[in-house]
Every structure is written in structure tokens, then in C-alpha cells.
Amino acid sequence: MSLATLTSGILVTGVGAPPGLGTLRSLRLADPDVKLVAADINRLAGGMFEPGTTSVVLPSASDPEAYRIAVRQVCTERKLDIIIPGSEAEVAALAPVARDWTEAGLRVPVSDPDVIAFGIDKGLLLERVKRVGLPHPQTLQPTCAEDLADWSGGYPCVVKPRTSRGARGVGYPASAQELASMWRETVAEHGPCVVQQLIPGGAETIYTIGSLWNRGDLIVSTLHRKLQTNPPTGGVAIAGETVDDPELMAAGLAVLQASGPWHGLAAVEVKRPTPDAPAYLLEINPRMWGFGYLMTLAGLNVPALLVRMLAGREHLSGHIPSTFPPYTPTRMVRSWQDIEIPPSTETGR
């Protein structure tokens, strides 16, 4: 059955960033007849003008209640029955209502709040993986400046907010003095921070294990690595490639199994400095990963599988390749695309 017969319409949010935009394009590629509504807090986000879609501006999920009211209204007015959130903040806002909304017919493939917390709070995740014995960088979670004296992981090290996105607030102090100064500045701007051992290696040593789950049951998993980021020290990936490495795949899935049960989409980032080194945990992203469209190009359309899963497991039959990995070797680079937009300031189209 086509996707259009399995849903009355899909709201894809966060289309100004790679996860949402890649999801939108993957679904259009799977079935050009599926009804898609692109959403973002920025009326000029690139995905708001994707061909074959309509769009709507949503409020920021920093006010979860206002965000939920707006999302529910859009889905009711436009007769949509699936929401695929594209950012951590939106996932966190929807998690408390996801089960109730799904039972009422508005399907929200998001894990329960206590599971989503592992993808929002790096400190919480690190405590869990430490408890179960999975590889992770040496970490200190200071609660005051005096705690920094306990750092024994060497320099340079990494200072990062517990709840940041991408490379926001991440610094690399080269001495105890720099650590103290940077920690104070980062806490003041971003809230509680962690101090971590710096794992050597460039962007090409960072791997992402993407996965699709149905209430704790793994549907499919993927693996790719970054080839280049912006900025080069770490951030948004601008080039990447698929990878076939069962050991790395197992390492990422072990993190998700230790923090689940997951539902919907989740991705783990690990860093392996050399082929014979452990895969050190970096973070979990409880949403579609930024290079999800890479897998679509490689022959595995994860957003389309998500829609089929939500319609019933029987609709996945014949749509997941029997080979491992279930995708072909593929490389991708992101580039600018200039899009002419209507000369209008109205919300949506």
C-alpha cells in the first residue's frame, strides 16, 4: 500500500534544519501523493517552501503548553494524523501527551518523558551508561567551582552544557585556569555543565547509529559517519557516508537499550579515535538524525518506514531489505539551494 493510503496527512516540524528537511524530502520521495505540512518557528525556513507541501509557522516549544495547543489546532484544521517532530525541544514538549494523543487518533511517535530525558540531559545519560559499564569519556559533573579541583582527565578537555544542541556552548580549555573561567561563563549562559576527557580524532571518527523503534522493539538501525563539520572542531555535519561495521552498530544500540524502551526515532553519536579503540559515547538525539536523508539516498527510507510502522507492523512487510546493512555504500554533501519564495509576509501558504 502507498503511504498516502496509510495517513490522512503528516506534520513535519523543524524543517529549517537537516532532520526536519530530510524527513520532508524522504516522505515526498516515497510517495508524492502523501499530504505533507511543513512547520517551523521561522517563516523563512527553507523547508517551508518545499514543492508539494503546504506550511505553517509554529510557536517555540520553549513554552510547551502553547506549542501543544498550536500543534493540535493545526492537525485538527488540516486533518493530519501523524506528527514527526524535528527538534529535541519539540520532542520534549510532545512526550507528556504522546500516548494520549496517539490513543485519540493523532499518532505521535515519541518515547515516554523518562526515556526522552536521556536524549536531553547528557549528565543523566552519562550516569546511566557508567552504571551499566558502557564506554564513555571520563566525566566530571561539577555543581560548584570548587568541584573543578577534582578534574583528573588532563588538558585540553571539553566543557559542554548538559542540555545543549549541536556545538552550542562547547569549549576546549587547555589548563585548569581556562577550565575554571570557561566553566563559569558556560554555566552563566547555558546552565549546568559537564567536563569531559577529550577523545582524539576529527569529524571522520564520529559515527551516528540511527534507529527506528516500536515500543522498545527495534525495527531497523543505520550507521554513518561524518566526513566534515561546520565548524571543523564539531557541529553540523556537511558531508558524510554510510558505514558497514557491526561492532559499532552494536555499541550504539547497547546505549539505546540501556536507556529505553524507545519509541519512534533515536540516534546515538559515538567517537572511535582508531579502529582498535572503544566507541566512546557522545550523546543521544531523540529524533531523526541530521543525515537521515543520506540513508534515503542509500536505499533505506526511514521516515517512510516510520509511517508504515504507525499504520501497523504488517505494512512493513517487504519494505525492509533482508541484507545487512539494509543500505548501499553512499556519500553525501550538503550544499546551498537557492529557492525563490512568494513576496508575502503572511503566516503559512
pLDDT, the chain, mean: 94
- Percent of the chain exceeding pLDDT 70 equals 97
Cis peptide before 113 (omega within 30 of 0): no
Q: Give the separation between CA 262 and CA 211, rounded to whole angstroms.
A: 9
> Could you tell me if 259 and 188 lie in one domain?
no
**CATH number of the domain to which 187 belongs:** 3.30.1490.20
Total domain count, the chain: 3
Judge whether 308 lies within some domain. Answer: yes
Of 53, 77, 112, which residue sits at a domain end? 112
> Could you tell me if 193 and 233 lie in one domain?
no
**pLDDT-based confidence at 346, cuts 50/70/90?**
low
Q: Are strands 54-57 and 82-84 parallel, antiparallel or unpaired?
A: unpaired
Contact 86, 288 (CB under 8 A): yes
| pLDDT tens readout for residues 26-47 | 999 999 999 999 999 999 999 9
Judge whether 143 lies within some domain. Answer: yes
| pLDDT tens readout for residues 315-331 | 999 998 888 898 999 99
Q: Give the separation between CA 40 and CA 86, rounded to whole angstroms.
A: 9
Angle at 297 between CA 295 and CA 301, to 5 degrees: 55
**CATH number of the domain to which 268 belongs:** 3.30.470.20
Of 197, 232, 267, which residue sits at a domain end? 197
> Could you tell me if 281 and 321 lie in one domain?
yes
* pTM of the predicted structure, to 2 decimals: 0.93
> Could you tell me if 32 and 150 lie in one domain?
no
> Could you tell me if 191 and 207 lie in one domain?
no
> Could you tell me if residue 70 is left (phi over 0), alpha (psi between -120 and 50 degrees) or otherwise beta?
alpha
Q: Per-residue pLDDT for 291 more than 90?
A: yes
